[in-house]
Amino acid sequence: MCYRYTLDKKYLKRAEEVASFILDHPTLSADGIPFWDFDHPDIPYTYKDVSAAGIYASALQRLSGLTTDDAKSARYRASAERMILSMIRNYKAVEDVPFLLDHSVGDLPQASEVDVPINYADYYFMESLYLYRLTK
């Protein structure tokens, strides 16, 4: 967003570095849903964080439209799509709760909002769906 509003290339460069960190991290799961902590010693036997996936999917789609590198743009779009489809297929909330997604982590060290639905996960999921629709 900083690059979008300022056109200062240092912000685009930093956003691309962050995207590379996320997408190239060895603990990012095959379904694209990150663990609550990239470096937690209990991976893969710890919680995944759907709220982070929603934020990443939205940000990657926005970044795909801002980068000048076609290969990076395609990678960002494909990664966002993988995350979105995974959230739809594997992380839906149960029918009796007023949320779309389940399995988010707010603050595991404080035992707060652990493996539960969180409103901002739904917000960024919906935003990522909207952005995904715009690129199709």
Side-chain-facing half-sphere of 16: CA atoms under 13 Å: 18
Q: What is the pLDDT of residues 42-53, one digit of tens each?
A: 999 999 999 999
Note the pLDDT of residue 107: 83
Q: What is the pLDDT of residues 40-86, one digit of tens each?
A: 999 999 999 999 999 999 999 999 999 999 999 999 999 999 999 99
Note the pLDDT of residue 87: 93
Please check the confidence at residue 136 and state whether its pLDDT lies above 70: no
pTM of the model: 0.91
Please name the residues in contact with 43: beta carbons below 8 A apart, sequence gap of 6 or more. Answer: 27, 35
Q: What is the pLDDT of residues 16-33, one digit of tens each?
A: 999 999 999 999 999 999
Q: What is the pLDDT of residues 100-134, one digit of tens each?
A: 898 888 888 888 888 778 889 999 999 999 998 88
- Where along the chain do its domains lie? 2-135
